[in-house]
Structure formats: structure tokens, C-alpha cells
Structure 1
Amino acid sequence: MNSQQTIKGVIIGGVAVILGFLVVYSQTGIPEGSKEQTHQAAAAGYGGAGSPRTPLLEYVGSPATPEEEKTLKKMNLYLLTQPEELEKSLGMWIVVDCRPKDLYDEGHIPTAIHLGETCNDFFRDDLEIKGITDRSQEPGERKQEAAAPGYGSAPGYAPAAGYGGTVSPKTTVMNSGTRSGLLKDLALGQVENLEKKLGRIGITRDKTLVFYDQRENSDEAGRGRYYGIFSGYVFVPFWYMEYLGHKDVRVLDGGIGIWTAGGKPLEQKTNKLTPVQFKADVVKSRLATTEEVLKIAKKEEDAQLIDSRTIAEYLGESPTPPGHFLADKIKRAGRIPNTIRNVPHFYQFIDPQTAKLRPIYQLQRLYGGLDKDKRTVLYCYIANRISFSYFVLRLLGFKDPAIYHDSWIVWGNDETLPVETGKKVAD
């Protein structure tokens, strides 16, 4: 056999392996190999020193092909703002700091405004779940409980550097004592209320709007790692503003950490905008309801249903991210039937330590085989992670992406709704 035949054979064989893997992945959403191998591979990812390594991500991280480079023209790359571009546009764009107010006061990107609270708290209302017992606690007790299991303490899931910190005593605490089954700031915000709040802040729909955060917001006072880019919080306001009809919303890649790492300045001045009248033009298609998702689950509606949670949640091994402090507040583990892909949200980071997104061609590989022209619905646990995945789908040029805002916290607690567990078997 001559050298040309040998090279040709290697190329054909390599392509066959990749195509074969993609067929398996498109059906299961889970890389081949044992569950133990998969979890060990992910250990370094969710908050660790680098991206997790699995067969899928080894393929995703390989160099781009010339054909993949050509597809960039069909994507919405402008949605992910780089520090240099933002610096040139200061004063022309509205820049919003999504961190807690005291961090904003310590130093923020010049011209940036603050909403008076974190972006998550600003946009969301409280969510009530039936059947959850009240349990009033002092803030310190809530923080201690949250810190114990953490978000990353489960063996083989993620190192302690992940979500294993404390949480804000104000946010995401079950049963604050005001009424049964209360989740602070996790329900869909009411449009009329958001119109008033955005108007008072001075945000309009006719100026480019850029949100930024930092990787995670924690300090010695236990403010909490539950906020931040890595948790998906900076993408929550991105989805809300698109849902409310804003035409040009963006996110700063890597947040304030990348800004300061590049030697760019901060200021401590409190910036305020002139109040305006904000009128929403709600894009209803951006939101999927439980009724719609149930039809998808029953295959009565043709749509692509994507799970942005961890593999353990997808398989039904845990109702929340393993070790999550709310794990005992949800009745069932598993996934929604007819879920065609599981892409854990943290797979979309090239480096969890900086919260920088993967190169666009790698993000496209994560969602390879999906139809960008078809309705695509995302779900997770409490609608943080899917806000990030929604952003990525928009970045990739998906025409009709939507989030199921109620997600697993509602679906998993409603025993009338169907659930699947275990590894998905191809139809």
C-alpha cells in the first residue's frame, strides 16, 4: 500500500469514528463509556482547574476544520462582547453591573450602572411550590446549611472550588417563613412590574445593553458563590431583556475579571440614568410553558428538548446538582421524556476559572446535529443554567430557542407529570 492510500485510509477511518460518535451522542446525549469514567472525567471541570475531559469534549476541543470556519457568518457573534469593543463603546452603550451592590461600590467598569440589587433578584419574583414544609431560619443558619453539602462536594462531580461555597442569605432560600414552599427570586418576573422598574432605572429598548458579572461572588463574609457568571446568573437578564423585546442585548465575555486582567480601569462613581418610560414588546416564543413541554414530552409537538443539567441529574441519580443544598426539597429525580440531548452548562466554558466561553466552533460541536431552524426548548433546575445555554444557542444562530422557566423545580415536584431515568435508549 502506498503512502497516499495509507493517508486516505486514516482520514476515512477518522471521519467514520467521529460520525459514529455523533450518531450515538445525538441519540443519548451522553458520551459512551461507563458512568464512573464519565463522572471522573467531569471532576476537573465544574469549578476545577480546567475544562472536563470526556470523549465528547475531546472531540469538541480538537482544531476547527475549514468547513467549520465557513459557518461563522451564520452566527450572532456580536452578542458576546470583548473588553476592547466595550471600552470603545463606553458612553454610547448602557452597561449594567450584575454583582451585589457592595462589589459595585468597590469598583466597576466606567459608566456602568447598578440595578440596586443583583440582576437575578431584579428580574425575578418569588416562586411558590406546593407541598414543601415551612422552615424559618436565621440568615447565618441558612448560610451554614448551604455551605455544608455545597454545589461541588459530591465525589467525582466537582472539586471544592466549584459551587461549594455559601449562598446569599437573601436569595434562593426555601421557606423563608412568609408562606409555604417559597423560593426567593426564582419565579418569572411580571412584565408590568419589570416595565416600571426598568423605566425608573433609565433602561430603554433603543440602546445597546451590555451585562457583566464576575466568575463568582464570594468573600470572607460568605456573600456566596451562588451568583456569578459560572452559575449562569449574568445570562438571566440577557434572556429577560430579549423576552421583553430588546433588540440588542449583549454579555461581556469573562466579565469584570477579564476586564481587569487586561489592565483596564475601574471607577467607584455611582452612575445613574435619567428615568424613562419602558414599554415591553414581549416575545412570547422565548418562553416555554409546562403545557407546551408536556406536549413535547408526549411527542404531540415537534420540538428539540435539551437538558442543561449535570449528567447525574439527567440520569436521575440526583434531583439537583449532586450535593446541592436544596436536594431534599424536590420530590423526584430524572429527566423530561423525549429529551434528545444532555449538554451540561459548564461544558460551554473553555476555562471555568476565567468563565470564558469556548471558541464558537467548539460550542457548535456541542449542539451538533440539531436543527437550528427548529424550535428548541431548554430546561435545568431553577432556570439559571438554561439562561446560559439559551445565550449560546442565540450565539450559534438558532432561530427559535426558548427556556422552560419553571424547569425541574416545578416539573420534578408535580407528580402528575412524566419522568424518565437511566440512560436513554435510542428509539
Structure 2
Amino acid sequence: MDESVVVSPDWLATHLEEPRIRVVDVRDPWEYDGIGHVPGAVSIPFESYRDESDVDRGTLPGPDAFASLLSEVGVTPDDTIVAYDDTHGVFAARFVLTALEYGHDDVRLLDGDYSAWNRAHETTTDAPDPGSAEYGADPLAREESPLVGLEAVEDALERDAVFVDTRERGEFEEARLPGAVRFDWREVVDDETRRLKPEAELEELLSDHGITRGREIVLYCNTARRISHTYVVLRALGYEDVAFYEGSLTEWLANDGEVETGAV
């Protein structure tokens, strides 16, 4: 697993005191304040970087809004960010995707979540005083971004791309993109450890679903939250040809896109 994308709790514990390591907690503020958090972590709640009004990039907040969030907690573009939640990483993965899209070079997902961290490492309810910074977002050019829109998805349907639906079975059977395979994002998580399954097991699991390095992969769900986790996992495993349909099924249905229904 590529540590430039996903890091273990032990890795974070070892590097936690380094000045350029900045830990971001994306849980609700009451969890951060009342339950505790990773020492030194700053609070950037999930809802603060999700904006339904951004017509160009779906639910992304926009580069200026995101830059303001990071400036307020003292994060700079040169920092290594490690994000976590307490929901197996799915909300934190959305933060990772957002930061990458807005040009942050080094942002990583904590393998596991707060509960996984709490089993072996210290927590605190003390809030740090990180100061402020002048963060400048530098959004990726369209040709560099993994995000794709409606037209690109329509084109990919004409090719041998594998469309990966990361939702639950009932959602998949109600409506899905033509030819899509269902790969529930939670399949990669070990329920006992709350961390990702071993790399060899992940590779076998993906292959069983037809998700291989030799194929073009297009991810979607309903509103692009769950595919953030799958995208980060694939990136950590070294998959390169992975597209991220930000509009997902919500946009597809709004544009009367063709769907399939029923069990497979």
C-alpha cells in the first residue's frame, strides 16, 4: 500500500510530532470536542467542504472556500495532511479527493478511523492553537483531474470501460448505469480491525469484480462521497486509469441517462 496515499496509525504516531505533518479531523464538532481526537488534529467538519451550490464541480466547495478553511487552521500548501473520520475513512477520503483536486500535493488518508487509532494510541480533548496561514489553492487543470462529467461518461460507455457502482445492493438494483458492476465501498474494510484488508486480499477482491489495471475504470455512486473512498484505495494500490464521476447517478438521472434495473 502506497504510504504517500494511505498511512497506518503506527506511521502517523511515529511522524506526529514533525512540524509539517498536519492532521485533519472531519467528524462533527461535538465528536471532536467531546469524544476526543488525535493529538494536534484540527477540526474541518465534512459539511464545511461540501457545497451543493457549486454548479461546475458538483458538491466540491470551490477553491477559494477550501483555501479559506485550510488557512483558518494554519495549513499551508507545503504541509503533509493526514485526514481521518470515524466511519472507516469514507468522509475523510472525500477530504483527500477535494484537497487533491485543489492542488495539494501531499494529502493522505489514515488507514482505519478514529476508533482504529484509539485502540493503540493516545487521544486528547485539548484543541491545538495552530494559528492561521495564507493557503492558496491551485486547482488541477481539466486534463489532469480524475473528475469527469456527463459527456465523458457517455463516451466511456461506448468503450470497454468498467463502470463501478459503490452503493448498496438495493440502490444498485433500483437504477444503475448500463453494464455497471456493484462493488460496495465497504468491501475493502475489515470490520474487526476497522482498517483496510491486506493488499493481496484487496487485489483478489477487485479482480473478482473485473476491476483490473488493464481496464479503464469509472467510479460512481449517488453524490460522489462513497466513490472517494474507493478512488483513494485504488490510487494507493497503484491503479492509474481511474475516472471519478463527480455528478454520479444524481446527475445522470437528472439528464435522463439510460439505466438498468433489477438484480444481476
Q: TM-score, normalised by structure 1?
A: 0.55
Other-structure match for 1:396: 237
1:350 is paired with a residue of what secondary structure?
A: coil
1:212 is aligned to 2:84 = yes
2: CA distance between counterparts of 1:342 and 1:402?
Answer: 16
1:348 to 179, 188, 199: 188
2: CA distance between counterparts of 1:413 and 1:85?
Answer: 43
**How far has the Cα of 1:423 moved from its partner?**
4.7
1:95-134 paired onto structure 2 within 5 Å = 95-106=23-34, 107-115=36-44, 118=45, 120-126=46-52
**How far has the Cα of 1:127 moved from its partner?**
5.0
Name the amino acid aligned to 1:385: R
1:306 to 146, 160, 164: 164
2: CA distance between counterparts of 1:283 and 1:358?
Answer: 33
Does the aligned pair in 2 maintain the 1:343–1:366 contact within 8 Å? Answer: no
**How far has the Cα of 1:399 moved from its partner?**
1.0
Name the amino acid aligned to 2:242: P
Distance 1:190 1:376, change over 3 A: same
Uncovered stretches (5+) of structure 1, i.e. residues with no partner: 1-74, 130-185, 215-227, 317-333
1:126 is paired with a residue of what secondary structure?
A: coil
Does the aligned pair in 2 maintain the 1:245–1:283 contact within 8 Å? Answer: no
1: CA distance between counterparts of 2:104 and 2:215?
Answer: 22
1:412 is aligned to 2:253 = yes
1: CA distance between counterparts of 2:170 and 2:262?
Answer: 9
Distance 1:371 1:393, change over 3 A: same
2: CA distance between counterparts of 1:378 and 1:295?
Answer: 14
Q: Deviations over 1:310-364 (max 9, x none)?
A: 2232222xxxxxxxxxxxxxxxxx111142x32111111111x653211111111
**How far has the Cα of 1:258 moved from its partner?**
1.7
2: CA distance between counterparts of 1:397 and 1:273?
Answer: 36
1:83-98 paired onto structure 2 within 5 Å = 83-92=9-18, 93-98=21-26
**How far has the Cα of 1:110 moved from its partner?**
1.1
Number of aligned residue pairs: 255
2: CA distance between counterparts of 1:103 and 1:283?
Answer: 36
1:300-379 paired onto structure 2 within 5 Å = 301-316=159-174, 334-339=175-180, 341-351=181-191, 354-368=193-207, 369-372=210-213, 374-379=215-220
Name the amino acid aligned to 1:254: G
Does the aligned pair in 1 maintain the 2:77–2:135 contact within 8 Å? Answer: no
**How far has the Cα of 1:78 moved from its partner?**
4.3
Alignment RMSD: 2.4
1:189 to 33, 56, 61: 61
Distance 1:81 1:201, change over 3 A: same
Distance 1:282 1:370, change over 3 A: same
Q: Deviations over 1:267-318 (max 9, x none)?
A: 4133324312323141533101112112223x0x5533211112232222xx
Q: Deviations over 1:78-119 (max 9, x none)?
A: 42222221112113201011111122223221111112xx1x
Does the aligned pair in 2 maintain the 1:349–1:357 contact within 8 Å? Answer: yes
1:272 is aligned to 2:113 = no
Q: Deviations over 1:115-164 (max 9, x none)?
A: 2xx1x2122112599xxxxxxxxxxxxxxxxxxxxxxxxxxxxxxxxxxx
2: CA distance between counterparts of 1:372 and 1:288?
Answer: 19
Distance 1:267 1:248, change over 3 A: same
The structure with more radius of gyration: 1
**How far has the Cα of 1:189 moved from its partner?**
2.1
1:257 to 115, 119, 122: 115
Does the aligned pair in 1 maintain the 2:4–2:106 contact within 8 Å? Answer: no
Q: TM-score, normalised by structure 2?
A: 0.86
Aligned structure 1 segments of 4 or more residues deviating by more than 4 angstroms: none
Does the aligned pair in 1 maintain the 2:206–2:212 contact within 8 Å? Answer: no
